[in-house]
Structure 1
Amino acid sequence: MVERNTFALEISSDHDGTYSVTATSGTEPTVKVSDVPLDVEKIRERSGLLQESSGSTSMASRSPGGSFATRDLSAREIGDELFGALFPGDLSGLYADRRRQAAARGESLRMMLRMDAPELTTLPWELIHSQDFGYLCLDDEVVRCVDLPRPLGPTSTEPQVLVKGIVSAPPFAKPVDVKSEERNLRRSLRWLADGSVARLSWVKVENWAAMLEQFTAKSEGCHVLHYVGHGEYDEEQQAGALIFSDLQGRKRLVHGDDFGRAIQQASLQPQLVVLNGCETGKGSHDDLYSSVAAALLSFVPAVVAMQFAVSDSAAVAFSRFFYQALVGLGRPVDVAVHQGRVAMLLHDPDSLEWATPVLYVRDDNDIRLFDVVQRTPTSKRTVESVRHDEERLIAAQASKSTQIHGNPVLIQKRPDPTLRGRREFTRSDFELVFPGWRSGIVSMRRKNDVRGGPWGPPYSILPDLGRVGAIGMVESMLGEGRSSLEVVARTGEELKFAWNDSEDPAHWHMLPAPIAGRAAGIPALVQSGHGNPGDFHLVCPAAGGGLMSMRRRNDREGYPWTTPYVFAPGLGEVAAVGLVESVLGGGRNGLQLVVRTGDELRFLWNETAESTDWQELADPITDGAMGNPVLIQDRTTEPGDLLLACPAAAGGMLFLRRRNGVDGLPWTMPYFVAQELEVTALTMIQSTYGGEDGRPGGNLELIARVGDSLEFFWKGPRPDFWIHNTFGPQHPLVEALGSPESSRESSPRSSAESSPEGVPRFLPRVRNYLTGRQ
């Protein structure tokens, strides 16, 4: 059976110039489409022209031969044709459905390609492009699978992963910049090597005999073999080959099966071969296994080959994140390749070099290569630093797939052990929603039980809402272990209510009629402890000034909403509200409310939850605010301070704390973060992360809207600083993207508050971060 998130495609020749495509996904029936036309020679010719237009070195943005826009158009045209061949007829809709289902669960798809038509192996499938989804490999893991016997399980790598770099530099071949190649790989592995997680050995071999000496029964061998050299197509043998010399200095072509047998002689046999050479990814028309990469799969579980030449800086960006994910964190090899691919994209957005890496595997069982076990304090610290790197990359990738309108709302799924069987809703999933750009709501999910799991692709829900101005969301508990997502959306002056109480994260319902009119601004929704189960309390700015309050009685049949009650008209026009039910000690609960009027933040409270019992603090608690305030209660203190965050009118965000354990309940003076960013809206929660010795954590997780993109921040327990994970690359805090050397000198995660550099310097600095250059 194919795994749920694997979309397996098998392409076979019909022997009349057309092809058949068979798709298998999860437990669904297999779907087959025949008589699919595909002009292989035309695509190969256009692919060759695309490479030529990029110059002789790579598909980098700085290559001569035309603008990036022109080359991107050519690449998209090739990708569209490949998509049409791979997803003909009903398969296109099937793929779209599976992708949306995976996105709703916060997951990506793994696309497994099997080809028994040899001529198809030469096509650049990593360029597959859809008008609806863009380049698929930038969201999905694209894997070329060659089914072979003897599947291998993951290898334990305690305490170090051994990486051997081999450079073949025969005297007659085009010179290889050996020093540059070694420097690039050492730079990529620097953190791992310094932390005793990986060890790199580097060997330049002049001939094939010297190569064989590296892999004898008495030699150390390696876990990963990183080959740098040249390859070519052997016309006589009709097979791909790597170029070495013999003892007399003459050319010797070594085919993939010979190379594979040679490296198996060592006591420690490689689990992965990385081929960084000229045309090592290209196969023959006449033999499926003629490609060196495919042939090596008879001897190793996985091969990564570069189907185009790649620039030094892109190679470092790929290798750094690839090896950190694979070796440092033990991620599946397809996830590691995808992270390296994303790093290449972020390193140079105007480049197509991200399409260069090609991953070949035996079968699904060979996706995970290593069981990484870290014992020493040094290695554990290194792995933690690498994990932080991964978080930054995941955040940057997520921001590239979003275009936000309105205010974001973030929740963490409730950790309730009674929700057994709800595999889509793990105890630590993040759910992020925001108004869609044109209509409805966009949702993104992060499955935090999957190590290294990225934010799932955005997916649209409730398109019938029309254009949404603002939203509020809460996860409710309605008794009998049932959890439900509840959303209030403002469309124009109407408030509409929707919910999802099913096991299908895409299965939403909406009340047919609005629950209120004459609404304005940004609403807030909470579930209180009043009633059994707790009632919903909704507060929203009123269109005529002041506020409106509503309550849904969850202990009554039909779950009726009360009539809106307008209060605090003296506030005038209110732009946004933040609402929380707090626990004040002594068995007392109360609703706490912060509203923004102009640039002032004002505080109100209600100890009975009755709509008529709101009280207001006489003076503003601060000014200089804009956007929407967010109010939560800190569960790491007793009885729990109130924490307030809001966009600042002068830039960045302001934060205040109310000391609930101090007489007079004073608010602190505001402090500011990320003042170089123009934040217009934000959302903040206290997550379960950051705990020690089995205790629940209390990290603050904040997502800010900057322009039409999102930025991700987090903060550990006091007195930690706010950390910016560069959720959007448009306006990063540059210190969070410091080079490995500078980051390691201070802390693997730098304080956002100590990052005064401005936006225009981002691109050079992000490239430095990805490549490790000073």
Structure 2
Amino acid sequence: MEEQELAIEVRADGTITATTPADNRRQRERLSPFTGPDAELIKLFERWIARRDHVWQDRDLRAFGSLLHRYLFPGTMWSWVENRLPGLPHPARVALIFPPDPPFARLAAVPWEYLHRPGNDGYYLATDSRLVLSRYLRRAATRADLTPVDRPRIQIVVSRPKTSQLKDVVFDDVEEAVRATEQHGFAVLETLHDPGVDQLFRAIEERQPHVVHYMGHGEFRQEQAEGRLALVDSYGDVDWVSDRELAEHMRRLSRVPRMLVLHSCDGARADFTESFAGLAPQLLRSGLHCVIAMQYAVTNSTATAFSVELYRQLAARVPPDRAVQAARMHIGGRTGADPRLLGIPVTYLHGRPERLFPEEA
């Protein structure tokens, strides 16, 4: 964990530890089971956030974020964290680490990007200038440094199964925005439309992109603690592929992409019933270094604005977690923006974030 300035880790037994790896100082508390009153309220807020007919105010999100904060930082945990912040680099990377197995695996799908420090002087952790919030996967062994890349290759994937169960995926504007990154030093490959799982990974094996940018549908099944991605079968219908199956295909590649971007566009309105939140952890274990996911479906204009800023930052060799932070502020600061937008982008890391696209020495 030497890459992070502050790690917040939940263990399988419910122990939560805050650690500053540089000096190995730590604070330990115990989480209540995710079945108590606070957990039920969090689940209720999660259902409310999915309602399209509810106009959210910032005070609503502050209440939700404060509830998340109370659950994740029991006892004296947060006061210990705040006392450590002045001595950390600016901005400090804050890594949230959750266990892969029940009973606390469910926490990986909670939208922690809405964490809000309670009180009159409260703030959202995801937008505070002192912090860069990301999710991190603990690994058993240190990986070798990534080799320098002159022109990172981006593979766009658009999945639009023929089914009335899913809304159409609006992708043209985002595709155009991603292609515009060629002027910033990226190489954008031919778009892959409506692939099946075998076709998708055959294309990745042949083209060996550094980044795969998926536009389509995803979901997280809470009962099974399983994320799924909507691909297309041989009849053009939806083929829901589980995170574990995707990870198995990823592990068979001779060269795994460095980054995966996941989002769903639904035209004019955001859809908070879809989620990529639970999909990323399993994929990171397959060898990816970074997954950037939009936790819920967003409007076409939001996805375009986010992509433009994200790739602009990455082209400048900004680390991916900080690139997402800049893109988050960009979409959240637009006039009339839905306050929920601040919590939609989420970054999952598995390795040194600043070395995703290193330049030649």
TM-score (norm 1): 0.41
Alignment of 1:575-590 (within 5 A): none
Distance in 1, Cα, partners of 2:355 & 2:231 = 31
CA contact (8 A) 1:314 1:347 kept: no
Q: What are the superposed Cα offsets for residues 575-626 of structure 1, whole Å, 9 maximum, x if unpaired?
A: xxxxxxxxxxxxxxxxxxxxxxxxxxxxxxxxxxxxxxxxxxxxxxxxxxxx
Cα 1:233–1:96 change in 2 (3 A) is closer
Q: Does 1:86 align with 2:87?
A: no
Q: What are the superposed Cα offsets for residues 15-52 of structure 1, whole Å, 9 maximum, x if unpaired?
A: xxxx4321112315211123557622320211221231
Partner residue, 1:34: 30
Aligned partner of 1:220: which letter? Answer: R
Distance in 1, Cα, partners of 2:23 & 2:140 = 24
Distance in 2, Cα, partners of 1:317 & 1:213 = 30
Q: Does 1:315 align with 2:314?
A: no
CA displacement at 1:323 relative to structure 2:
1.4
Cα 1:158–1:28 change in 2 (3 A) is closer
CA contact (8 A) 2:154 2:186 kept: no
CA contact (8 A) 1:129 1:135 kept: yes
CA contact (8 A) 1:154 1:366 kept: no
CA contact (8 A) 1:20 1:35 kept: yes
Partner residue, 2:132: 141
Distance in 1, Cα, partners of 2:139 & 2:261 = 19
Partner residue, 1:762: none
Aligned partner of 1:42: which letter? Answer: L
CA displacement at 1:122 relative to structure 2:
2.2
Partner residue, 2:173: 183
CA displacement at 1:186 relative to structure 2:
2.4
CA contact (8 A) 1:162 1:198 kept: yes
Ranked by relative contact order (alpha carbons within 8 Å, sequence separation 6 or more), the top structure is 2
Distance in 1, Cα, partners of 2:290 & 2:157 = 17
Partner residue, 1:203: 192
Partner residue, 1:174: 166
Secondary structure of 1:315's counterpart equals helix
Distance in 1, Cα, partners of 2:355 & 2:336 = 29
100, 113, 120: which is aligned to 1:126? 113
Cα 1:373–1:318 change in 2 (3 A) is farther
Aligned partner of 1:112: which letter? Answer: A
CA contact (8 A) 2:134 2:348 kept: yes
CA displacement at 1:350 relative to structure 2:
4.0
CA displacement at 1:258 relative to structure 2:
2.4
CA contact (8 A) 2:31 2:71 kept: no
Task: Specify which structure has the higher proportion of strand.
Answer: 1
Partner residue, 1:689: none
95, 102, 127: which is aligned to 1:112? 95
Cα 1:23–1:266 change in 2 (3 A) is closer
CA contact (8 A) 2:231 2:238 kept: yes
CA displacement at 1:174 relative to structure 2:
2.3
Cα 1:49–1:162 change in 2 (3 A) is same
CA displacement at 1:193 relative to structure 2:
0.8
Partner residue, 1:664: none
Q: Does 1:65 align with 2:45?
A: no
Cα 1:208–1:182 change in 2 (3 A) is same
Distance in 1, Cα, partners of 2:302 & 2:61 = 18
CA displacement at 1:144 relative to structure 2:
1.3
Paired positions, count: 338
Cα 1:187–1:108 change in 2 (3 A) is same
CA contact (8 A) 2:263 2:276 kept: no
269, 274, 281: which is aligned to 2:276? 281
CA displacement at 1:100 relative to structure 2:
3.1
Secondary structure of 2:190's counterpart equals strand
Q: What are the superposed Cα offsets for residues 180-207 of structure 1, whole Å, 9 maximum, x if unpaired?
A: 41421322451x3135443343111253
Partner residue, 2:267: none
Partner residue, 1:8: 7
CA displacement at 1:166 relative to structure 2:
0.5
CA contact (8 A) 2:114 2:342 kept: no
CA contact (8 A) 1:2 1:8 kept: no
CA displacement at 1:366 relative to structure 2:
4.7
Alignment of 1:563-578 (within 5 A): none
Distance in 2, Cα, partners of 1:176 & 1:372 = 39
Structure 2: state its 5+ residue gaps.
265-272
Distance in 2, Cα, partners of 1:349 & 1:338 = 20
Aligned partner of 2:212: which letter? Answer: L
Distance in 1, Cα, partners of 2:8 & 2:223 = 32
Distance in 2, Cα, partners of 1:247 & 1:240 = 22
Partner residue, 1:24: 19
Aligned partner of 2:289: which letter? Answer: P
Secondary structure of 2:42's counterpart equals helix
CA displacement at 1:136 relative to structure 2:
0.8
CA contact (8 A) 1:215 1:263 kept: no
CA contact (8 A) 1:151 1:366 kept: no
Partner residue, 2:268: none
CA displacement at 1:161 relative to structure 2:
0.9
Partner residue, 2:358: 371
Q: What are the superposed Cα offsets for residues 477-496 of structure 1, whole Å, 9 maximum, x if unpaired?
A: xxxxxxxxxxxxxxxxxxxx
Partner residue, 2:331: 344
CA displacement at 1:312 relative to structure 2:
1.7
Aligned partner of 1:27: which letter? Answer: D
Partner residue, 2:270: none
Secondary structure of 2:161's counterpart equals coil
Distance in 2, Cα, partners of 1:344 & 1:47 = 21
CA displacement at 1:223 relative to structure 2:
0.3
Alignment of 1:592-671 (within 5 A): none
Q: What are the superposed Cα offsets for residues 285-327 of structure 1, whole Å, 9 maximum, x if unpaired?
A: xxxxxx321110122111111212212222122211211222x
Distance in 1, Cα, partners of 2:219 & 2:109 = 13
Alignment of 1:35-434 (within 5 A): 36=32, 39-52=38-51, 55=52, 65-66=54-55, 68=56, 71-102=57-88, 107-116=90-99, 117-130=104-117, 131=119, 132-139=121-128, 140-172=131-163, 174-177=166-169, 180-190=170-180, 192-216=181-205, 219-233=206-220, 239-263=226-250, 268-277=255-264, 279-282=274-277, 291-299=278-286, 300-326=288-314, 328-348=315-335, 350-351=337-338, 352-363=340-351, 365-366=352-353, 368-373=355-360
Distance in 1, Cα, partners of 2:253 & 2:106 = 34
CA contact (8 A) 1:82 1:125 kept: yes
Distance in 2, Cα, partners of 1:138 & 1:242 = 28
Aligned partner of 1:203: which letter? Answer: L
Q: What are the superposed Cα offsets for residues 394-444 of structure 1, whole Å, 9 maximum, x if unpaired?
A: xxxxxxxxxxxxxxxxxxxxxxxxxxxxxxxxxxxxxxxxxxxxxxxxxxx
Distance in 1, Cα, partners of 2:44 & 2:241 = 27
CA contact (8 A) 2:153 2:189 kept: yes
Cα 1:109–1:142 change in 2 (3 A) is same
Secondary structure of 1:98's counterpart equals helix
Q: CA RMSD in A?
A: 2.8
CA displacement at 1:249 relative to structure 2:
4.3
CA displacement at 1:254 relative to structure 2:
1.3
What percent of counterpart residues are identical?
Answer: 25
Distance in 1, Cα, partners of 2:232 & 2:214 = 15
Aligned partner of 2:25: which letter? Answer: P
Distance in 2, Cα, partners of 1:75 & 1:236 = 25
